Amino acid sequence: MLLRVTRQHMRKIISKSSLGAFLGGAFVASQFTSVASAEGEKHHALSPAEWRSFRVLSNEKLTHNTHLVRFEFPSENDTSGMKVASFIMAKASVNGKNVIKPYTPTSAPTQTGFLDLVVKGYPDGALSKHIVELQPGEALDMKGPLLKFAYQPNSRKHIGLVAGGSGITPMLQVALEILRNPDDHTQVTLIFANNTEDDIILRDELAAYESMYPGLKVIHILSNPSESWTGLKGFVNKELLEKHMPAPATDSLVCVCGPPGMMAAVSGGKAKDFSQGQLEGMLKELNYTSDMVFKF
């Protein structure tokens, strides 16, 4: 399901509840869809209809600029209500102004009692910098979950994921939804691009998942590695995509999430109204079509 997201829709999400109708097929919707709209909010700590405040339980530094921040739910039995693939909106007052940004939790949708956000603290990112500096007991406002597309088990034979930097978080959500379901036989291949070894978010966790799940393959590529790096070097290129991503087919899907430069080169960026926009870049050159690619 490829959702058509506009700037107007985003404004509605930020202000009041704006829940898109979830239309019949698994890959069609007119705007962000509320997960809770279909199944109610019972036992869900989050709400797509209102901002709710959650206190920090812990703040763990993962890399030189990335933190895992854990937020406590009101009840230890609460779950987030997240589905795949969905996200939350986070809001905080920074220098007297409300700043809002979407994030994808890395904790499992079934996790009770808390929610984890992996956040890269950009020097010029007002909200991300604020979040990574939060201390236990301090709070952050959240609204959601909001659905990007509804994944259906075995709907694709092979799903390729191309992530750059903090773009790993929605990819991990999709991958784990597949891998943790023993009845889902979808193959998952992740290309994860970073600058240096120190920039690889959740590196140990990815290695553990790859060992644990035969259906997962992870390929790291670094643009500025140390001399001791034995993996791939450079940027995501056409040869890498052709070798590791599923071949263009109706039962294949390639998801892309990363910084603007990577998005432009691989798939083309999203449109100004937050919709998918035209498929461009290397994936278009490799004969993929828009229904075979999803841009986060």
* Mean pLDDT of the 37-60 span: 84
Helix ranges restricted to H, 180-259: 203-212, 238-244
Q: Quick one: pLDDT at residue 124?
A: 84
More confident: 31 or 129: 129
The pTM for the full model equals 0.84
The pLDDT tens digits of the residues spanning 191-220 come to 999 999 999 999 999 999 999 999 999 999
In the structure, what pLDDT confidence band is assigned to residue 41 with cuts at 50, 70 and 90?
Answer: very low
> What is the DSSP pairing of strand 66-72 with strand 52-61?
antiparallel
% of the chain exceeding 90 in pLDDT: 82
Q: Quick one: pLDDT at residue 17?
A: 34
Query: What CATH number was assigned to the domain covering residues 158-295?
Result: 3.40.50.80
| 4 CB-contact burial (10 Å; exposed 0-12 / middle 13-18 / buried 19+) | middle
Paired residues of 160 in beta bridges: 189, 254
Q: How far is Cα 207 from Cα 216, in angstroms, rounded to an integer?
A: 10
The pLDDT tens digits of the residues spanning 65-95 come to 999 999 999 999 999 999 999 999 999 999 9
Q: Quick one: pLDDT at residue 42?
A: 53
% of the chain exceeding 70 in pLDDT: 86
- CB neighbours of residue 222 within 10 Å: 20
Element (H, E) at 192: strand 187-194
Task: Report how many helices (DSSP H) and strands (DSSP E) the chain contains, helices first.
Answer: 8, 15
SS3 label, residue 166? helix
In the structure, what pLDDT confidence band is assigned to residue 273 with cuts at 50, 70 and 90?
Answer: confident
* Mean pLDDT of the 162-170 span: 97
Paired residues of 163 in beta bridges: 192, 257
- CB neighbours of residue 203 within 10 Å: 18
* Mean pLDDT of the 147-161 span: 95
Whether residue 22 has pLDDT greater than 60: no
Binding site feature residues: 102-103, 118, 120, 128, 169
| Averaged pLDDT of the chain | 88
- CB neighbours of residue 44 within 10 Å: 19
Q: Quick one: pLDDT at residue 123?
A: 83
**Is the CB of residue 71 less than 8 Å from the CB of residue 115?**
yes
Residue where the block lists tokens 């035969």: 214
Whether residue 25 has pLDDT greater than 90: no
Binding site feature residues for FAD: 102-103, 118, 120, 128, 169
Largest CA distance in the chain: 53
Q: Which of 41-50, 129-138, 170-179 has the lowest mean pLDDT?
A: 41-50
Whether residue 20 has pLDDT greater than 70: no
Whether residue 12 has pLDDT greater than 60: no
Query: Residues 6-13: contacts with CB within 8 Å, 24+ apart?
Result: 6/31, 6/273, 6/274, 6/275, 7/272, 7/273, 7/274, 8/273, 9/274, 10/274, 13/48, 13/89, 13/143, 13/146
According to CATH, the topology of domain 41-143 is Elongation Factor Tu (Ef-tu); domain 3 (2.40.30)
Q: Please state the domain extents for the chain.
A: 41-143, 158-295
Q: Quick one: pLDDT at residue 43?
A: 86
Whether residue 6 has pLDDT greater than 90: no
Omega within 30 of 0 (cis) for the link into 145? yes
* Mean pLDDT of the 176-181 span: 96
The pLDDT tens digits of the residues spanning 255-272 come to 999 999 999 999 999 998
Q: How far is Cα 143 from Cα 86, in angstroms, rounded to an integer?
A: 12
